[in-house]
Each structure stands twice: as C-alpha cells, then as structure tokens.
Amino acid sequence: MTAELLRGAEAIGLAALMSGVEAYFGYPITPSSEIMEFMASEQGDPRFPRYRAFVQASSEVEAVSMLMGAGAAGHLAMTATSGPGLSLMAEGISHAYVAEIPFLIVDVNRGGPGLGTTEPEQSDYLFVTRSLGHGGSRAIVLAPEGVGEAMELVNRGFRLAFEYRIPVVILTDAIVVHMRETVDVPELRPVLDGVPPWAVRGKRGRGTRNALTTGFLDSRELKEFKEGLERKWRRISEREAYYECHMCDDAEVIYVAFGISARVAAEAVRELRGRGTAAGLFRPITLAPFPSGALARLRGRGIRFVVMEMNEGQMYRDVREALGPDEDVEPIPMMGGIVTRSEVS
C-alpha cells in the first residue's frame, strides 16, 4: 500500500482501472463529470492495457445501453452519473437486471427531485434501493463514506456484478467525489481472468448459443425466471449485506447513517463520548441489500437510535422495519444539500 492524496473522482476511476475496467460510457452531469473527465484522460495509459473503450454518449439512455452491450459481451464497463441521468438509465438497468448483465454505475447524488441542486444530497436512496427500473428490477447498492472506501467498493462492486450477474450502483455524493483525502491505495486485482461462459460474442465453436433475453412469450416462463431472480436476491441478501458498527457494544445512543452523513455522525459520536455519553454508529455499507439482520441484533437493549440522512427520511423506513415498532428511533432528515453540525446536535 502507498499513501496518496487523491480526489474522490480520481480514486474511483483509478480503482476501476486497477479492477480491469475495459469500457467507460457516459454523459456529463454535475457533480459526476470529474469521473468521466478522469476516465477520458486515462485512455491509452500503458499501466492499464485492458482499458480500451471510452465514449461520450449522446444521453444517459445511450450510455446505459452501451453498458448493456459491453456487459453482455462479458467485459467490465462502467459509467458515472447523477439523479436526472440515473432516471434515464433506469430503462437499461431494468433490462440488464432481467437479462442478468453486469455493469457498474456510480451515482453521485445531487439535490432532487427534478434538476434540484448540484449540492450533495442522499435523496436517491429510495429510488436505487427499492426498484431501480420498472417491473421489480433491482441493483446491489454500495455507499462509501470516503475516498479510500470508494476505491474498495468499486472493486467489490465489479466483483459482485460479475459473481451475481447484476447491475451494481455505487451511491455517493459530491463531497466524496470532489474531496481530496490521503488514501492508503489498496492493492486491487483485476476482477476477471478470461471470458465468462455466458458472454455474447459469437458462438466461436460453442455448440449452443448464448442468448440474453428480457422478453418472454409465456407467462409461466417469466414466472419461473423471476422466481430464480428472487432466489438469487435472497442469496445476495444473506451473503453480501455489509455494515460497520462503531462503538456499539456499550452504546446508549446509536446513530444510523450512510455515506458522508456517517462521517458527520462519527464526529458527533466522538463529541458525545467526550461529554460522557455512550454513543455509537451503525453504518450500512450496502444499502441494498440492507443489513437488517445486523441492526435487528441491537434490539431490546433500550438504545436510542438516531437516523441521520441528507434527505427527507428515506432510510428511516428501512431502519424502522429492521428494528420493529418497539424501539426508540428518531429521524434527523436534512434536505436541500446542507450538512451542518448544529442540525446533528
């Protein structure tokens, strides 16, 4: 490991390149464009010979469709966008979910809905965790708390995308992407060695074709296929729900927060501990699947839970569902892209 001062956008791009990303297809949108600009500048970098396709698409619709193509062919492809772009990408994500096509989308959350602001919010939470696209499609959602973890989660995101053949979203925000932090650059290894057996690239001697379809002529066929997708999602939920529980053992107050809000909450925990209050932090790292089981294990201890998020209280519902009706759960919603210490206390 080497320590480097890296901007979030650069770190995300670097992690993707170290993971063996082969294609970047995107459309500029604030506050995500720095990732695209970095990937544009990395074309031809001799350190990353696998990386060979960069296209500035004509829209997010076109970009996500290109991701479908490269993913279907069994290659690592990614994009970065923000809320209004993610809305357009929902079409491709729904198709990719049912066709089981892997790719990675970095959603740099800005204030919404609509054009909103270009300031950071966490208001895409419900959209990305509940049903990203029509017909009950899903994605695995990972939320880094800072630049260093963003690198690890990009690598893990690509691994999960290919292991489970599912779209993966990194939900982050303008603070993480624009901030410079000293990072112990992790040793990330390429995710793929060789071509996956399901890749659509011509039969090339295979006896049977590979066909990734999203349409079904028979209702029973779709029913059985969707039951398979649900089994896969349960498997993902059981194995891949990640979280961090910081100073939870003796805590009387536990903040529940993700992404950059968790950094603010961690500061509040330090302050409260300094004043003699036993505070802790529960930080979901995967937002989908949500680490409900781990949170539920904290029930019945008389803990006061405080859900801190930069939206109108979207994750609060997941926390309440995990903890049940009897626990003391208080939401602290912060809207409009404003993070202040005073609001926390």
Partner 1 sequence: MGAEVRQAKRIGLLYDGRASTFCPGCEHGLLLKLIARALEELGVADRAVMVGTVGCSSLGYLLFDSDFVQAPHGRAPAVMAGIKLVEPDAVVFAIQGDGDALSIGLQELLYAADRGIPMTIFMYNNMTFGMTGGQMAPTTIPGMRTTTTPRGRDVKLSGSPIDACRLLSAIDGPAYLRRAILAPRPLRVKGKIFYSAREALEAYRIVLNAFRAQLKGGFSFVEFVGTCNVNWRMGIDESKAFVHEVGAKYFPPGLCRDIYGLEGGGKV
Positions in the binding site for partner 1 (CB under 8 A)? 22-23, 25, 52-53, 55, 57-59, 61-63, 65-73, 75, 77, 91-92, 95, 99, 101, 200-205, 209-215
Q: How far is the CB of 217 from partner 1 (least distance, A)?
A: 8
What is the Cα–Cα distance from 340 to 98, expressed in whole angstroms?
41
Of 40 and 57, CB closest to partner 1: 57
Q: How far is the CB of 200 from partner 1 (least distance, A)?
A: 5
Q: Answer whether 168's CB lies under 8 Å from 99's CB.
A: no
Of 166 and 285, CB closest to partner 1: 166
Q: Answer whether 123's CB lies under 8 Å from 311's CB.
A: yes
Of 67 and 104, CB closest to partner 1: 67
CA distances from 183 to 37, 144, 146, 290 (A): 21, 13, 9, 27
Q: How far is the CB of 135 from partner 1 (least distance, A)?
A: 12
* CB-count exposure of residue 259 (10 Å: 0-12, 13-18, 19+): buried
202 Cα distance to chain centroid: 32
Of 3 and 195, CB closest to partner 1: 195
Of 44 and 202, CB closest to partner 1: 202
Of 54 and 242, CB closest to partner 1: 54
Q: How far is the CB of 69 from partner 1 (least distance, A)?
A: 2
Residue that is written with structure tokens 């107050």 in the block: 253
Of 50 and 232, CB closest to partner 1: 50
What is the Cα–Cα distance from 84 to 89, expressed in whole angstroms?
9
30 Cα distance to chain centroid: 18
Q: How far is the CB of 270 from partner 1 (least distance, A)?
A: 46
Q: How far is the CB of 209 from partner 1 (least distance, A)?
A: 5
Which residues is 53 bridged to in the sheet? 23
Residue that is written with structure tokens 């973890």 in the block: 149
Q: Answer whether 25's CB lies under 8 Å from 63's CB.
A: yes
Residue 225: what residue type? F
Q: How far is the CB of 103 from partner 1 (least distance, A)?
A: 9
What is the Cα–Cα distance from 56 to 242, expressed in whole angstroms?
33
